[in-house]
Structure 1
Amino acid sequence: MTATSVDGVTAAAARIAPHIRHTPLLRAEVDGRPVVLKLEHLQRTGSFKLRGALNVLLSGPRPRRVITASGGNHGIGVATAAAILGLPATVYVPSTAPESKARRIEAAGAELVRTGDRYADAAAAAHEAATVPGTRYVEAYDDPVVIDGQGTLAAEIIREAPEIDSIAVAVGGGGLAAGVALGGGGRLTVAVEPEGCCCLHRALEAGHPVDAEAASVASSALGAGRVGEAPFAVLSSRPVHSVLVSEEEIIAARDRLWDEYRLAVEPAAAVPFAAWLAGRIPGDQPCIVLCGANAPWTP
């Protein structure tokens, strides 16, 4: 794998620009405090995952087929990226994958294969299938090329709002947070996780990636169980502030985004906003990334 870098983020931005949306910023004031929201849930596919998937498929030789494993959002991103480039794709998901996300994977044109009860089961089956010559396996987060693609989100933020001094994101396997650390122009990365689903927090405590439980209302998007080696290498070498939030805070934050701004996001996307509402995000002018909107949702 090539190393992640700021130059890699810059190259990724140029590479994927024709195919993604430059998602907007919303400058708001809540409880008398200013905040900037990055509306990445308005991205094509309903999450940031398209960025990394496109960067992978537009880098290197063109594959004959694309394969990945996913709990949902990544699979939608890969399926859509493959469709954009005219490539056949297969996405392996566990039986626990939300039906709403499974439908979107198939709607994007990919073959959907359900296998096992855990993401690890789906990933094992997908990796085995990807041994066929001409197949490209797209990692969900543990790949420098994926990380560079996700970093384009932060590059957009600081280009449009250079006054931002911290960027808060939800963390699953760490790909988005690592991309923000690279593409954020030196701004503090605030990595926010549910209390019951916090593999990066545990890894930072231990000094290396470790297995962690994944029990949260947001676990379909954030339940990696173990932070990736490549993201951890980035996040452990740059300024990162780790924050945890409760289940109650996540749901309250999701509901408040709807009540005040009519922003319908999935629980994972509300995680960093929950931390901001609780006063746990450092910085005088923070940006909160709302990363996705693909889970079943009712106000």
Structure 2
Amino acid sequence: MDWKPEIIAAAERIAGHIRRTPVLSLDLSGLAYPVAMKLEQMQHTGSFKARGAFNSLLSAQVPAGGVVAASGGNHGAAVGYAAARLGIPAHIFVPELAGAEKIGLIRRTGADLTVVPGVYADALAAALDYESRTGAMQVHAYDGLATVAGQGTCLAEWEHQGLEADTILIAVGGGGLIGGAMAWLQSRRKVVGVEPETACTLHAALAAGAPVDVEVSSIAANALGAKRIGSICFDLARAQGIAALRVTDNAIAAAQQVLWKEARQLVEPAGATALAALLSGVYTPAPGERVAVLICGANPSKDPLA
């Protein structure tokens, strides 16, 4: 598939609906080189997900029944936000694992909300059942063409902002964000996936030669808690030879602390996961290698100002 025209069209389609998020270069303690970052946690509803949500809704003929989405939290908030702005009915299914803050964020968008026991996979099953019963349009969190093209606009935007990195580290859940990055970059830059050790869908799929189910835990599970990598991401990763690194929960929490203490950037665990690979030494750049990190989410499980 030729992704470039799809992502360019997506960027034009969503331009009036999303934020152009800032970029910066930081010197962080423990690292002997500056790290370029794109602060996508400053996007509407606190994550990159608004890009795919708006593209999905604006590029389709939405039925009278509206849209339905399953989410660990951030995707649901983005779909609810986009649907409200476009006057489209939305029903969101989230697992209890999403936590009170993300559930509250979705509810504040005005979307109909159903909280189900279990994890993301349980919410997805409920959303698929709802789709079959009502005819609502499913907006997949990470394995839809319009979703991935929408997420690809983040990297297109970053390059237009002057990205000079050789290597970009990106957190992986179901694979929508890194899938969009790979779709846009097409191996022009090195892309490295970073996952929690106990929620490593891409690593497991690459090892098995096909997407497989994994057990999910981790402090980042309410954002990176997909049970199986998306087929779009897997096909792109296998074709491009993408590495999938794993980091501990302790490393993720430490990266959160560094981002707050040294850059005053408050992010959820998923938002710090890619940086954790650098700070923990799981990824060590070669001499002279220019490194960038995509910061992807700002919705921690507890309100820090409560």
Question: Normalising by the residue count of structure 2, what TM-score does the alignment of the two structures yield?
Answer: 0.92
Q: CA deviation at 1:201?
A: 0.4
Q: Secondary structure at the match of 1:123?
A: helix
Q: What residue number does 1:108 align with?
A: 109
CA distance in structure 1 between the aligned counterparts of 2:15 and 2:68, rounded to whole angstroms: 23
Q: Hey, what does 2:46 align to over in structure 1?
A: 46
Task: Tell me, in whole angstroms, the C-alpha distance in 1 between the residues paired with 2:265 and 2:284.
Answer: 20
CA distance in 2, matches of 1:167, 1:17: 24
Residue 281 to residue 154, structure 1, CA distance change in 2 (3 Å): farther
CA–CA distance in structure 1, aligned partners of residues 256 and 111 of structure 2:
30
Counterpart of 1:59 in structure 2 is: 59
1:168 and 2:169 correspond: yes
Q: 1:161 to 1:281 in 2, by over 3 A?
A: farther
Q: Secondary structure at the match of 1:227?
A: coil
Partner Cα separation in structure 1 for residue 108 and residue 196 of structure 2: 30
Which of the numbers 234, 242, 245 marks the counterpart of 1:243?
245
Residue 290 of structure 2 is aligned to residue 288 of structure 1: no
Gapped runs of 5+ residues in structure 1? none
Mapping of 1:148-167 within 5 angstroms?
A: 148-167=149-168
Aligned partner of 1:120 in structure 2 is: 121
Query: Is the CA contact (8 Å cut-off) linking 1:167 and 1:180 kept in structure 2?
Result: no
Q: C-alpha distance in 2, partners of 1:74/1:282?
A: 32
* Secondary structure in 2 matching 1:130: helix
Between the aligned residues of both structures, percent identity stands at 44
Number of the residue aligned with 2:136: 135
Aligned to 2:180: 179
Instruction: Tell whether the 8 Å contact from 2:91 to 2:112 is kept in structure 1 after alignment.
Output: yes
For 1:162 and 1:290, how far apart are their aligned partners in 2? 14
Structure 1-normalised TM-score? 0.95
The answer on 1:201 being equivalent to 2:203 is yes
Checking the alignment, whether the CA contact within 8 Å between 2:76 and 2:106 is kept in structure 1 is: yes
Q: CA offset at residue 119 of structure 1?
A: 2.0
2:172, 2:224 within 8 Å by CA — same for their partners in 1? Answer: yes
Partner of 1:53: helix, strand, or coil? helix
Partner SS for 2:292: strand
Counterpart code for 1:17: A
Aligned mate of 2:264, from 262, 265, 269: 262
Judging changes above 3 Å, is the alpha-carbon distance between structure 1 residues 296 and 282 closer, same or farther for their aligned structure 2 residues? same
1:27–1:14 Cα change, 3 Å = same
Q: Which residue of structure 2 lines up, in the alignment, with residue 73 of structure 1? A: 74
- Work out the CA distance in 2 between the residues paired with 1:158 and 1:17: 16
User: Structure 1 residues 281, 174: CA separation in 2 closer, same or farther (over 3 Å shift)?
Assistant: farther
Q: Are positions 1:19 and 2:17 aligned together?
A: yes
In 1: Cα distance, 2:120 partner to 2:163 partner:
38
Q: What secondary structure, in the 3-state scheme, does the structure 2 residue paired with 1:252 have?
A: helix
CA distance in 1, matches of 2:119, 2:251: 26
* TM superposition shift of 1:239: 3.9
The answer for unaligned runs of 5 or more in structure 2 is none
The size of the alignment, in residue pairs, is 297
